[in-house]
Structure formats: structure tokens, C-alpha cells
């Protein structure tokens, strides 16, 4: 067993005893230590960690997967541990291989798509209150866009463009949603008379 393999065993044992699961590090780091031993590196260097992390497999479409940044994170933790034992160890800096979540092109719903969703919520959900809640939620998202957090601080307002349809510019509480829904339903029935 090489000195790096022994250090890895000690590192994993120490982290496990402190309550860390280290699921990824447990299966990534033995490969890193084997790679260091195969390349004759006595300790972790920034250059060695980067070279190992960049060997991440590519997806069938040729795109780089997220394995590289995860490898770098595991190597950084191990290097931090080794730096207390071996003064020659270099700890790779944060951001050397940043994790980038793949950007997905958003699906833009047309007005017809939204109308279909609203109608399906009304027809397929048995509970009238739950159906009204989902219709209101869909209307909120259609009117204001999908955002999360911070809606509680705003007051709500209803803007009626078409008879029987409400566009809500803020996210109200469930009680306010029900009140608005009843008010809009009342307006629509008044206009149909």
C-alpha cells in the first residue's frame, strides 16, 4: 500500500467517524490516488488534480458531464486533508472547475395552451376548490411568470381583460385566492346574464 493509499484510507475513516457519508468521494478518490501513483506523483498538486478531473467522460452526444467538477471537489477535500500532513501538497482553489448547470430552453406556452390547461384543471379535478386553486395557480404563472420566493410581501390585484377571466399580478394567500376566484366567477355570471 502506497503512502497516498494509506493517507486516503485515513482520510475516509476520519471523515466517516465525524459523520460524513462521502458517497462520491468514497468512489472517486481511490481512482485519483491510483492515477497519482501511476503518474509517479508523491502528493497532490493543482496540476495533477486538474489533469485527473478533466479526464471526465463525455456523454454520447459529446458534451462534458458534471463528473469533472465533482472529481475536483473530491480532490480538493483530500488535498486539504493532506496539506496538514505534507507541506508539499497544493490545494486546488475553488472555482477552478466550476459546476455549471446545463441551461434548458424554456417551453413558452401559447395562450391556447394556457386555455387548455385551465379547462383541463376545471374538468379533471373532482374537488371544486382544488380545481379552482389549480386554475388560479396556472393563471398566476401565466400572468406573472414562474418565479419563487418573496411573493408574500406583495399585495394582490386583479385585472380583468376579458369577461370571466382574471389576470392576477401578485401571489395572494390561499384565502385571498378563493375570495378572488369567487369574485371573478360572480363577475362572469353577472356579465352572462
- Cβ–Cβ under 8 Å, residues 168 and 132: no
Q: Are residues 61 and 132 located together in one domain of the fold?
A: no
> DSSP characters for 72-84?
HHHHHHHHHHHHT
Range of the domain at 27: 3-83
**Phi first, then psi: what are they for 60, rounded to 5°?**
-55, -30
**Phi first, then psi: what are they for 162, rounded to 5°?**
-125, 150
- Using one digit for the tens of pLDDT, what is the confidence trace for 61-104? 555 567 888 899 999 999 999 999 999 999 999 888 877 766 77
Which residue shows C-alpha cell 363577475? 187
What was the pLDDT predicted at 36?
94
- Using one digit for the tens of pLDDT, what is the confidence trace for 21-31? 888 888 899 99
Q: Are residues 123 and 183 located together in one domain of the fold?
A: yes
Cα angle 30, 36, 39; round to 5: 140
The answer to whether residue 91 sits within a structural domain is no
The answer to whether residue 105 sits within a structural domain is no
Confirm whether pTM is higher than 0.75.
no
What was the pLDDT predicted at 139?
85
Higher pLDDT, 35 or 141: 35
User: Would you state the cell numbers that stand for residue 7, as one nine-digit string?
Assistant: 493517507
Amino acid at each position: 500500500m502506497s503512502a497516498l493509499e494509506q493517507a486516503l484510507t485515513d482520510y475516509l475513516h476520519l471523515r466517516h467517524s465525524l459523520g460524513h457519508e462521502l458517497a462520491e468521494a468514497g468512489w472517486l478518490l481511490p481512482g485519483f490516488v491510483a492515477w497519482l501513483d501511476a503518474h509517479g506523483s508523491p502528493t497532490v498538486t493543482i496540476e495533477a488534480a486538474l489533469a485527473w478531473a478533466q479526464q471526465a467522460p463525455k456523454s454520447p452526444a459529446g458534451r462534458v458531464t458534471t463528473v469533472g467538477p465533482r472529481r475536483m471537489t473530491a480532490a480538493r477535500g483530500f488535498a486539504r486533508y493532506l496539506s496538514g500532513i505534507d507541506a508539499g501538497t497544493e490545494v486546488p482553489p475553488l472555482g477552478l472547475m466550476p459546476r455549471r448547470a446545463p441551461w434548458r430552453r424554456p417551453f413558452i406556452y401559447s395562450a391556447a395552451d394556457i386555455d387548455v390547461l385551465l379547462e383541463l384543471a376545471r374538468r379533471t379535478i373532482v374537488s371544486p376548490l382544488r380545481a379552482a386553486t389549480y386554475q388560479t395557480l396556472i393563471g398566476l404563472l401565466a400572468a406573472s411568470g414562474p418565479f419563487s420566493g418573496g411573493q408574500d410581501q406583495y399585495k394582490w390585484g386583479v385585472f380583468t381583460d376579458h369577461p370571466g377571466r382574471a389576470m392576477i399580478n401578485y401571489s395572494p394567500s390561499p384565502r385571498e385566492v378563493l375570495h378572488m376566484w369567487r369574485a371573478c366567477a360572480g363577475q362572469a355570471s353577472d356579465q352572462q346574464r
